[in-house]
A and B are shown apart, each in its own frame.
Chain A
Amino acid sequence: MSHDYSIDPNNLPEDPSRVTAEGKMKHLGLWMFLGGETVLFASLFGTYIALKDSTAGGPTTQDLYGLELVFLMTLLLLTSSLTSVYAIYHMKNNNFKQMQLWFGITGLLGLGFLACEIYEFAHYITDYGFTFRSSAFGSAFYTLVGFHGGHVIFGLSWLIVLMVRNAKRGLDTYNAAKYNTFALYWHFIDVVWVFIFTVVYLMGMVS
């Protein structure tokens, strides 16, 4: 009757997150979800591209954007992607403490990214009067970047729940699957950011 999810330390599975049937389903299910997310963000990017020059006399992309903050945000998020890779590496070696540590660093970097984004939005609103309602461009900008920020917030909450819930329990094949799906989701957030800094900020500063 009991369910055995424990990992035998003398005979480690190649990938503890995909030992059980549920683990395999969660893994594939998350990939499917990311396929849908691709189209979700495609629609937002498309809307942004269609409206990016509709400034209604307000500030334009060239007035607003600066390279320094966006570069810092990019570094934070890219690095958090790498630290979650480290966490998964330790998960595969059945080293729970190291895994929690690296996921913790991932969360802190994500938090740093979020802080920068909030600062950036506040800066646009107070210094330029550039808001969600000031022009179609404003609506599209805040919606696209905000949806990404919302994904970061959701990811951070997910990570905190996972880490707190399993802090005393240690690693087993049941929660390894959960950690692994989170890591995949987090990488995807980074992928979306790569396109945001390219399409929104860099291309916005060029043309």
Chain B
Amino acid sequence: MTNNTTSNKAEAYRKQESKDEMKKQLISFGMMIAFTIIAFALVGTDVIQGSFLTILLFVLAFVQMMFQFLYFMHMKDKGHAEASGIIYGGFWVTFLVMLGLGVISWW
């Protein structure tokens, strides 16, 4: 009997936790949609121009990506140290590849 109540309590706690998690993920989704709309609107309406717009678009994309990684893919949760290490390593190599192919190759 007592055993049953504890497991019920644990169950209730677990449910609450996954509900909270879901709320966070819904907020992330809302933000991602908002960021997407902002990005498209910026390009569609020509409010800002030039390199500032390029940088802004990139920042919007980067923040969206972090929402995906941290909340949708749970990279913020415990037990993801190695996973985040590899992903951040991948960012670094990506930066280098962009440097090579974007900046120092011509003709």
Query: Hey, which bits of chain A sit against chain B, CB under 8 A?
Result: 10-12, 14, 18, 28, 31-32, 34-36, 38-39, 42-43, 45-47, 49-50, 67, 70-71, 74-75, 78, 81-82, 85, 89, 92-93, 184, 187-188, 190-191, 194-195, 197-199, 202-203, 205-207
Contact = CB atoms under 8 A, between A and B. Distances in A.
B94 interface: yes
A89 B90 contact: no
Interface of B: 7, 11, 14-15, 18, 21-22, 25-26, 29, 32-33, 36, 39-40, 43-44, 49, 53-54, 57-58, 60-61, 64-65, 68-69, 72-73, 79-80, 82-83, 86-87, 89-91, 93-94, 97-98, 100-102, 105
A190 B72 CA distance: 11
Contact of B65 (A70, A194, A203): A194
B18 to A, nearest CB: 6
B65 A191 contact: yes
13 contacts: A39-B97, A43-B97, A45-B98, A67-B44, A74-B36, A82-B29, A188-B73, A194-B64, A194-B68, A195-B65, A198-B57, A202-B57, A206-B57
B68 A81 contact: yes
A70 B68 CA distance: 19
